[in-house]
Structure 1
Amino acid sequence: MVRLTMLPTLALVAACSLTSSTLALNPIAIKGTKFFDSVSKDQFFLKGVAYQPRTLSTGFSDPLSKPADCKRDFALMKDLGLNTIRVYQVDPSLNHDECMKLLESSGMYLLLDLAVPKYAIVRNNPEYDISIWNNVRSTIDAFKGYSNTLGFFVGNEVTNDNKTTVASGYVKALLRDTKNYISTAATRKIPVGYANNDDPDIRLQIQAYFNCGKDEERIDFFGINLYEWCGADKTYQTSGYADRTKEIASYSIPVFLSEFGCNTVTPRTFPEVNSIFGPDMTNDWSGGIVYEWSQEDNNYGLVQIKPDNTVTLLPDYKNLKTALSTLHPTGVKMDAFNKQLPASTCPAITSSWEPSATLPPTPSSAACDCVVSSLGCVASDQAVATTESLGTLLNTICGMTSCDDISSNGKTGVYGKYSFCSPSQKLSYMYNQYYTTVGKKAAATCSFNGMAKLAVAAKSSDQGCSTVKDTNAGTKTGTGNVNSGAAFKYDGVLFSLAVLLTASVVGV
């Protein structure tokens, strides 16, 4: 961000006015099944690309924190005629102002995934805890102030077959909390959606599940990662695209291809874009996101980023530019569009669709901190430092005493009162349970081979802790800076909480 603090007041005002008037993109709004520019009222079709360069990075790399890379890449994307990028993971503690301004000045919007591998709902063993929720809130805070933040994805292919359907209940709880948080922390409604993997066994259940129930539990848009059109010998009818269109024709919210671009035939010539942005699909779909910008190990790149940080255009880039050059869908005007369809009916619970109607509770750092302050036996520094062993330690103690208070079951809909706490907090709680009940507070029973230690409890019990809620201390102002302020009041005292701000993750 350019610092203008030394300018005279009038110059500063003029500079700020110029910046906001020349660069600001109009927020995108949703009406019925379509996206619209909220000011011009023109229908908006996503012409986008997935943007997560990673092969040349060591570990996790946030692409929106590198202005030089953004300047290089966004100019090439603008030349392609794109208007949207999808980014899968960012570090909310970093500054994104310059890249977001560069994106805006290139006429492009951002679709951002909120989950990152380190803080994500794991499909085979789902949990929704404070680390996930705190990181999601921090990411929302970091991007809620940009007018070209089109929306957030609350999940991407979390449930990917009929054996992982329980995980969808945890994602839906995160959806609920995300929408509620945005309604209080942001100055405008920023839509939240989900991206599905198009598994033939459960695609319809997923589609219905995330668009049924209470308003705050329903997505605002739906993305489908679709790779069925492979090669120029396929057509709209033979590729499966026509079948997918029939399935979403009565859906009540916007649908688009959150990923597309099968690469079993290379170089890709993208014949599908004629249908995506032509008469075949524009009545029911809102465009698509091609996968992906940079050449990675999976061979989907439009460009090759070299070690010297220069870029080579690949055949796929040139072919996509040719395919898109004549496609300019206009759609309908917002004021003239009044079609409203009903929300979906929730899918029936079966052996292949199992998430309970009862969703997990909202994680509360305040509740977890409160209960830890009441414990006389807690996990030792050695146990906490051995992060990878916390699961083993929890399994051991849960074989010695009941762990109902820290467990969750998305199939039965039963969630322990501290099921959302961190693994180390859960371990402390369980060590204390054993120490106070089985061990009868004998000092020797708070050891566990050095994994536990005695502590001085600040409270006599955890009574009331499970109902203590976090309070959003953030404001609705600002332009994307992280505001992690969360606080809670207990016994008349206000405590501030440190929100997890880092996302040290591996590439997608």
Structure 2
Amino acid sequence: MRVLALLLSFIALTWALPAIHVKGNKFFDNTGKQFYVVGLDYQPSVALNDDPIADSEGLKRDLPYLTGLGINIIRVYSADATLNHDAGMKMLSDAGIYVLFDATDKLFSINPRDPSWSLDLFTHIKAKIDALRGYDNVFGFLVGNEVIINGWGDTVAAPYLKASIRDAKAYLKSVGSSALVGYAATDIDANGPLQQYLDCKSIATSVDFYGINTYRWCNGDDYKSASYALFNKPYDAPVVFTEFGCIREKPRQFKEVQAIFGIMNQTLSGGFAYEYSQEDNNYGIVQISNNQVTTFGDYTNLQTQYKNLNLQYLTESSYNVDPTAVLSCPQPDGQWLGISDPLPPAADSDYCQCMMNTLQCTVNPSASSASISGAVGTACGGVSCAEINANSSTATYGKFSACTSVQRSSYAINQYYIANKDSQGSDACNFNGVGQIVANPKGCSSIVTSVPTKTASASKSATASSSASQSASASSSASQSATASQVVSATAVVVEGNVTQTATVSSSKSASVTRTNSVSASLTQTNSVSASLTQSATQTDQGQNRYNTQWDEAFGSASSTLPLLGLVVVVLMSI
């Protein structure tokens, strides 16, 4: 039985479709053969749960018509991450058909009128990725569809779109998936600089492929009259038509297919005809009624066009290109509004949870959205909420602007509570039941504040110093004293019960460390770089904490002092 199981596993691997990857502006499979997208958009409204892949019976009904077209890939707009897709994906794989999934939908996507990038959306995207990435015939995921749709004003959303591409690519890489990440654009004037923008800065922040939804070639048109030359231009990533097929007259002739795979095949890698089933928009090439399929003339015409293709394939070994090439980023010019540097912060669940672990006042899980919104408005009217705000027009992004809405709201009311608890007590966290006191914050060593920190304590001290020539002398003294200090600098804060650790770096590239559980230490270097560490078991008034960087960022500019910190520790240990 063990031998049989191994044999079946080997056969399954042998039959699996080869993974598709990108080199330059072309797709290749893992045998080194060029891959063209000969595709169809597939989203029958009659599908159970609005998921045509999980609806295996519906897919079984449609599969002969899909294979009859001669396609090798479908685009699916909606898939439910909670459903099982095994049967449907296997049917498609056995038929040699890949699937491109939209990872966003009408409920979870970037809104160009109020754009943002946050864990709320990224969690939804990751759920779809995790539910589908394991299938051999997953081509990739679209992290956006027609986000820039109403004109130039919508390009203010472009940085959030680019951030979503960056984070989706990083996540797929972290889980060992070779699935590709792309975007489907609207065919409008802003598409030109958007296409450039999504392939600039770096490979890590650029699309693996770029899609365009275009309907400009109608019956009677040709390459010139349809202005297809606008799409036939060099690009560092593959370009596909994620939707095509004008319905000015029916049945559609689909003569653009020969141009897409012919005269344009140096810059285009194929496309998806829109769409399989007849819906209210009248683009279907078949009609589904009472679980029966009837084809239209559009189906026959598309079938003829696809079967008459004479594709010219490259081999990967013969295709030489710089795999790291990207374009220069378009600059804002009054119409184009997308700023490329900096981009919005990563939607990092660990980082956001780390911030939550430091809060003393958080949102009550039972609070309504309306009441939370009101509480945040009140809180941010009295304290700074800059670290949860984002403005792509000025490329100003708070460190926690990509956290979930609940986490950002918790940060806001915590800011208010810290600033007002001395005068208002626990009422400063109430907000009519929206807030709740956290009795013992867990603390987190990754979070850094940049506000004055006042500490009063009794302490002993020891100092060590070194000259710029790296010859060091150390001296120590111990004294019992009461001190009060204020530091205005980047300060890391770690809260463990009633013990607080801080580390600061000043703008003059000096860092001071204070350790106030009866021991403090400071280190000075003649090149004006110093570091200090403070631990205190006394009462600390941190004012309005404003988190703005990672612990390692705080010490990045003072890295030359780190070897000398060991000397300080030695001196401390000897006291």
Q: Secondary structure at the match of 2:268?
A: coil
Q: C-alpha distance in 1, partners of 2:438/2:326?
A: 52
One-letter code of the match for 1:123?
P
Q: Secondary structure at the match of 2:81?
A: coil
Q: Which of residues 318, 332, 337 in structure 2 aligns to 1:336?
A: 318
In the alignment, is residue 18 of structure 1 matched against residue 11 of structure 2?
yes
The RMSD of aligned alpha carbons is 2.5
Partner of 1:142: 131
Residues 32 and 253 in structure 1, CA contact (< 8 A), matched pair in contact too = yes
Q: Secondary structure at the match of 2:298?
A: helix
Partner of 1:241: 228
Q: C-alpha distance in 1, partners of 2:370/2:282?
A: 33
Residues 302 and 317 in structure 1, CA contact (< 8 A), matched pair in contact too = yes
One-letter code of the match for 1:36?
F
Runs of 5+ in structure 1 lacking a partner? 1-7, 468-489, 492-508
Q: Which of residues 60, 66, 70 in structure 2 aligns to 1:81?
A: 70
Higher strand share: 2
Residues 156 and 194 in structure 1, CA contact (< 8 A), matched pair in contact too = yes
Runs of 5+ in structure 2 lacking a partner? 450-494, 497-575
Q: Which has the higher contact order (CA 8 A, sep 6+)?
A: 1
Q: Which of residues 332, 338, 347 in structure 2 aligns to 1:349?
A: 332
The alpha-carbon deviation at position 260 of structure 1 amounts to 0.5
In the alignment, is residue 53 of structure 1 matched against residue 48 of structure 2?
no
Q: C-alpha distance in 2, partners of 1:208/1:449?
A: 49
Q: C-alpha distance in 1, partners of 2:181/2:47?
A: 31
Q: C-alpha distance in 1, partners of 2:111/2:246?
A: 26
Provide closer, same or farther for how the CA distance between residues 9 and 181 of structure 1 changes in structure 2, counting only shifts above 3 A.
same
In the alignment, is residue 318 of structure 1 matched against residue 300 of structure 2?
yes
Provide closer, same or farther for how the CA distance between residues 389 and 84 of structure 1 changes in structure 2, counting only shifts above 3 A.
farther
Residues 55 and 296 in structure 1, CA contact (< 8 A), matched pair in contact too = no
Q: C-alpha distance in 1, partners of 2:54/2:416?
A: 47
Matches within 5 A, 1:294-443: 294-306=277-289, 308-338=290-320, 342-356=325-339, 357-383=341-367, 386-387=368-369, 390-391=372-373, 393-440=375-422, 441-443=424-426
The alpha-carbon deviation at position 391 of structure 1 amounts to 4.2
Q: Which has the larger radius of gyration?
A: 2
One-letter code of the match for 1:429?
Y
One-letter code of the match for 2:9?
C
The alpha-carbon deviation at position 38 of structure 1 amounts to 2.3
Q: C-alpha distance in 1, partners of 2:92/2:201?
A: 36
Residues 446 and 453 in structure 1, CA contact (< 8 A), matched pair in contact too = yes
Aligned residues: 447
Q: Secondary structure at the match of 2:139?
A: strand
Partner of 1:181: 171
Q: Which of residues 421, 433, 437 in structure 2 aligns to 1:450?
A: 433
Provide closer, same or farther for how the CA distance between residues 212 and 105 of structure 1 changes in structure 2, counting only shifts above 3 A.
same
Provide closer, same or farther for how the CA distance between residues 179 and 382 of structure 1 changes in structure 2, counting only shifts above 3 A.
closer
One-letter code of the match for 1:150?
F
Residues 361 and 437 in structure 2, CA contact (< 8 A), matched pair in contact too = yes
Q: C-alpha distance in 1, partners of 2:444/2:315?
A: 57
Q: C-alpha distance in 1, partners of 2:352/2:318?
A: 50
Q: C-alpha distance in 2, partners of 1:273/1:437?
A: 64
Q: C-alpha distance in 1, partners of 2:53/2:441?
A: 43
Matches within 5 A, 1:192-203: 192-200=181-189, 202-203=190-191
Q: Secondary structure at the match of 2:50?
A: coil
Q: C-alpha distance in 2, partners of 1:260/1:162?
A: 23
Q: Secondary structure at the match of 1:193?
A: strand
Could you report, residue by residue, the CA deviation over 1:457-492 in whole angstroms, capped at 9, with x for unpaired residues? 423x6763479xxxxxxxxxxxxxxxxxxxxxx98x
Provide closer, same or farther for how the CA distance between residues 392 and 354 of structure 1 changes in structure 2, counting only shifts above 3 A.
farther
Provide closer, same or farther for how the CA distance between residues 215 and 358 of structure 1 changes in structure 2, counting only shifts above 3 A.
same
Could you report, residue by residue, the CA deviation over 1:396-420 in whole angstroms, capped at 9, with x for unpaired residues? 4333432212111122222222212
Provide closer, same or farther for how the CA distance between residues 354 and 380 of structure 1 changes in structure 2, counting only shifts above 3 A.
same
Provide closer, same or farther for how the CA distance between residues 35 and 463 of structure 1 changes in structure 2, counting only shifts above 3 A.
closer
Provide closer, same or farther for how the CA distance between residues 443 and 283 of structure 1 changes in structure 2, counting only shifts above 3 A.
closer
The alpha-carbon deviation at position 393 of structure 1 amounts to 4.6
Provide closer, same or farther for how the CA distance between residues 244 and 444 of structure 1 changes in structure 2, counting only shifts above 3 A.
same
Could you report, residue by residue, the CA deviation over 1:355-410 in whole angstroms, capped at 9, with x for unpaired residues? 23201111222233333333333323442xx3366445534433343221211112
The alpha-carbon deviation at position 254 of structure 1 amounts to 1.4
Q: Which of residues 2, 6, 21 in structure 2 aligns to 1:9?
A: 2
In the alignment, is residue 32 of structure 1 matched against residue 16 of structure 2?
no
Could you report, residue by residue, the CA deviation over 1:21-46 in whole angstroms, capped at 9, with x for unpaired residues? 23x1111232222222321x332211
Q: Secondary structure at the match of 2:436?
A: strand
TM-score (norm. length: structure 2): 0.72
Q: C-alpha distance in 2, partners of 1:239/1:343?
A: 28
Q: C-alpha distance in 1, partners of 2:19/2:444?
A: 45
Could you report, residue by residue, the CA deviation over 1:111-154 in whole angstroms, capped at 9, with x for unpaired residues? 12222333322212121111222232233233333222222222
Q: Which of residues 94, 97, 105 in structure 2 aligns to 1:105?
A: 94
Q: C-alpha distance in 2, partners of 1:395/1:318?
A: 58
Partner of 2:35: 44
